[in-house]
Structure 1
Amino acid sequence: MYNILLIASIFGFVLTTLLFLKKSTQPKATIFLGSFYFLLSVYALQAYIIDGGHLALCSWFFLWPLILYNLFAVPIYFYFETIMADEFKWKKRYLLLFLPFVLSVIDAGFIYLQPDAVYQEMLHNALTDPKNRLHVSYWLLDLDQHMLMRHVWQLGALLIVMPKLLDFIKEGTADGLKVILNKWLLVFWFGLTLFAVFAIFYAVENMLAINIFEGGSMVPVILYLIMFSIGVIPIYFPTILHGYPQVIEGTVDSKQSISNQELDNKYGLDEAGVKRKLKLLVQKKLHLQQDFNVTNCAREMEMPAHHLSYFIKQQYGLNFTSYKNNLRMQHAKKLIEDGFLENNTTDALAWECGFASRSSFSRVFKDATDHSPSDYASILQDNG
């Protein structure tokens, strides 16, 4: 049973690394999400170590993580707020989110300031009786009270964002990326809410020495399964690594009312900015390189490949390959008009336009002009 905690922790650390290192269209939201998965990974790992009976091998992994766990509500709330507002602005009321963290700093600091025998006794009790470790007393609160408080704060943060989230998912529903984002946010919110609820049940069970459900181990098992699900569910939503800009920057006055239809059309990437970057790539003639594909193009533009493909489809009605070939055919026709074939072969023309072979170039050229390159040159010459 405890192995699922280890798996969830490993998945979480991998996801954290990807979120922190991956370029994103919403870097602040991505950092907040990565911060949450880091906390969840440490939480799952310590639960695996202590509840699984491995604390003797990792005795250093004790007490101090309490401070991290009591930050749970912070990245969760900030992530949803940033995604829905497409920005993050600090507000004084956010200080309330840090109350569990402040109390844990005080309690953990108090224990570390005590004689070493106090810490060693606490560690010994966790080693010999891990099931009852939540009853340990600090200074202000017991460990089970810390657990109850942090997850009450987590649940409160999720309930606060819920009305805004429900309004948010109603907007821009004709946009493919927005539909994916809506599904992710609903699944993520639901998973976090279940996590908070069952963690609260677990804390209450330990505080009152009762079993809320029949079978004393049911609540922790469900809690571990929920943690595992939250840790691995991003596999089904890989686009969350890149973020989602809400409204095209500079095109909508914040004081204007925006209809759902306008949001359907404008939700996505910065249209002017992307077109400007595409124009710059054409000026640099990168589309004439043989390895010019959607991945390399997106890397040059510092944006996710799936966002670029989506943008080109929405703006030009073409997939990326067709868009690239159209640019190459414009260059090919210009070269032919300038007399390139008078002193060069069709193979040289194909190579000049980014094609690896004459046959593939000729096929694309005929699809675009209804003529072979040589026939097109002859027609130009006759008309001239």
Structure 2
Amino acid sequence: MYNILLIAAIFGFVLTTLLFSKKSTHPTATFFLGSFYFLLSVYALQAYIIDGGHLANCSWFFLWPLIPYNLFAVPVYFYFITIIEDEYKWKNTHLFWFLPFILSIIDVGYIYIQPDAVHSKLLHTAITNPQNRLHASYWLLNLDQHMFLRHLWQLLALLFVLPKLLSFISNNGTNKLKNLLNKWLLIFWFGLTLFAVFAIFYAVGNRLGHNIFEGGAIIPITLYMIMFLVGVIPIYFPTILQGYPKVIKMIPKDGQVGETKKNNKFGLHEEQVESKLKLLMDKKIYLKQDFDLTNLARELEIPAHQLSYFIKEHYGVNFTVYKNNLRIDYGKRLIHEGFLSTNTMDALALECGFASRSSFSKVFKNTTTLSPSEYDNKIKNND
């Protein structure tokens, strides 16, 4: 059972690394999401170490994690708000979400300034009787009260953003990328809510000294399973590792004062992307053998799925057709300039970025209805 926690921790650390290392169209939201998964990973790992009976070999992994754990509500709240409002703005009222964190600093600091025997006693109890470790008394709160408070705050944050989330989801529902984001946000919100609710049940049960439900292992097992699912569910939404659909607010071109219009490209500033794309096409990077959607997206520093969406919306074709059109246009230009008078058809194919003459001829005919040779003869006859 405890191996579930270890797997969740591993997945969480991998996801955290990906979120922090990859470029994103929404870096602030990515940061908050990565921060949450880092906290969840440490949380799952410590639960595996303590509940699995490994704390004696990892005694350093004790007490201090209480401080970051009590930040759970912070990245959760800021992540949803940043996505929903399309920006991050600090407000003094946000200090409310840091209350469990502040209390944990006080309590952990209090234990650390006590004689070593106090810390050693708490550690010994956690090692020998991990099931009752939540009864440990600090200064302001017991450990089970800290657990209850941090997940209560997490639940409050989720309930607070729910009306805004539902309103956000109801807008622009016909967009494919937006629909994907809506689905992810709903599932993520639901998973976090279950996590918070069962963690509260677990803390209350420990506080009262008996289990709320029949069967003593139901709540902890369910809680572990929820942690596991929350940790691995992004596998179903790989695009969140690359960025988030983002609504770009645009000022009307006529300069009149009024309500701003919203660009429905979700994450793509058309003018910026088009300008960068034109510069790259002027360099003829489409002639390289390795020219593909992934490499072009890397050059433009935007997610590949959003570049694909941009090309489809802006040019009315998919990426493969877009690439082939560029290459065939270049090939036609070379033929007009007399390239085939001094070079072979194989050389022309390679010059246009194709791996073989056959693939070049096939794409050329599909695009122009003529083979390269027929196109060359037609030009000569017209001359």
* Normalised-by-shorter TM-score class: over 0.9
Q: C-alpha distance in 2, partners of 1:47/1:98?
A: 23
Q: For residue 40 of structure 1, what is the aligned residue in structure 2?
A: 40
Q: For residue 11 of structure 1, what is the aligned residue in structure 2?
A: 11
Distance 1:93 1:364, change over 3 A: same
Residues 166-201 of structure 1 show CA distances to partners (whole Å, capped at 9, x for unaligned) of 000111111111111111100000010011111111
Q: For residue 179 of structure 1, what is the aligned residue in structure 2?
A: 179
Question: Equivalent residue of 1:42, what SS?
Answer: helix
- Residue 147 (structure 1) shift: 0.6
Q: C-alpha distance in 2, partners of 1:335/1:103?
A: 72
Q: Residue 326 of structure 2 aligns to which amino acid in structure 1?
A: L
Q: C-alpha distance in 2, partners of 1:302/1:182?
A: 24
Q: For residue 169 of structure 1, what is the aligned residue in structure 2?
A: 169
- Residue 251 (structure 1) shift: 5.7
Note if 1:270 corresponds to 2:269. yes
1:39–1:68 Cα contact (<8 Å) kept: yes
Distance 1:133 1:206, change over 3 A: same
Q: Mapping of 1:303-322 within 5 angstroms?
A: 303-322=302-321
2:23–2:243 Cα contact (<8 Å) kept: no
Q: For residue 256 of structure 1, what is the aligned residue in structure 2?
A: 259
Segments of 5+ residues of structure 1 without an aligned counterpart are: none
Q: For residue 366 of structure 1, what is the aligned residue in structure 2?
A: 365
Moved more, 206-215 or 36-45: 206-215
- Residue 365 (structure 1) shift: 1.0
Q: Mapping of 1:72-91 within 5 angstroms?
A: 72-91=72-91
Q: For residue 107 of structure 2, what is the aligned residue in structure 1?
A: 107
Q: Residue 311 of structure 1 aligns to which amino acid in structure 2?
A: F
- Residue 248 (structure 1) shift: 3.1
Distance 1:237 1:75, change over 3 A: same
Q: For residue 281 of structure 2, what is the aligned residue in structure 1?
A: 282
Q: How many residues align?
A: 380
Q: Mapping of 1:138-177 within 5 angstroms?
A: 138-177=138-177
Q: For residue 327 of structure 1, what is the aligned residue in structure 2?
A: 326
What is the TM-score of this pair, normalised by structure 2?
A: 0.96
Q: C-alpha distance in 2, partners of 1:326/1:20?
A: 36
Q: C-alpha distance in 2, partners of 1:342/1:250?
A: 51
Q: C-alpha distance in 1, partners of 2:367/2:249?
A: 35
Question: Equivalent residue of 2:170, what SS?
Answer: coil
Q: C-alpha distance in 2, partners of 1:129/1:367?
A: 73
Q: Residue 119 of structure 1 aligns to which amino acid in structure 2?
A: H
- Residue 338 (structure 1) shift: 1.6
Question: Equivalent residue of 1:105, what SS?
Answer: helix
- Residue 267 (structure 1) shift: 3.1
Q: For residue 377 of structure 1, what is the aligned residue in structure 2?
A: 376
Q: For residue 224 of structure 1, what is the aligned residue in structure 2?
A: 224
Q: CA RMSD in A?
A: 1.6
1:8–1:227 Cα contact (<8 Å) kept: yes
2:289–2:353 Cα contact (<8 Å) kept: yes
- Residue 294 (structure 1) shift: 1.0
Q: For residue 335 of structure 2, what is the aligned residue in structure 1?
A: 336
Q: Mapping of 1:61-140 within 5 angstroms?
A: 61-140=61-140
Moved more, 15-24 or 208-217: 208-217
1:249–1:270 Cα contact (<8 Å) kept: no
Question: Equivalent residue of 1:88, what SS?
Answer: coil
2:181–2:245 Cα contact (<8 Å) kept: no
Distance 1:19 1:3, change over 3 A: same
Moved more, 126-135 or 210-219: 210-219
Q: Residue 290 of structure 1 aligns to which amino acid in structure 2?
A: Q
2:250–2:260 Cα contact (<8 Å) kept: no
- Residue 363 (structure 1) shift: 1.1
Q: C-alpha distance in 1, partners of 2:75/2:244?
A: 17
Moved segments of 4+, more than 4 Å: 251-255
Segments of 5+ residues of structure 2 without an aligned counterpart are: none
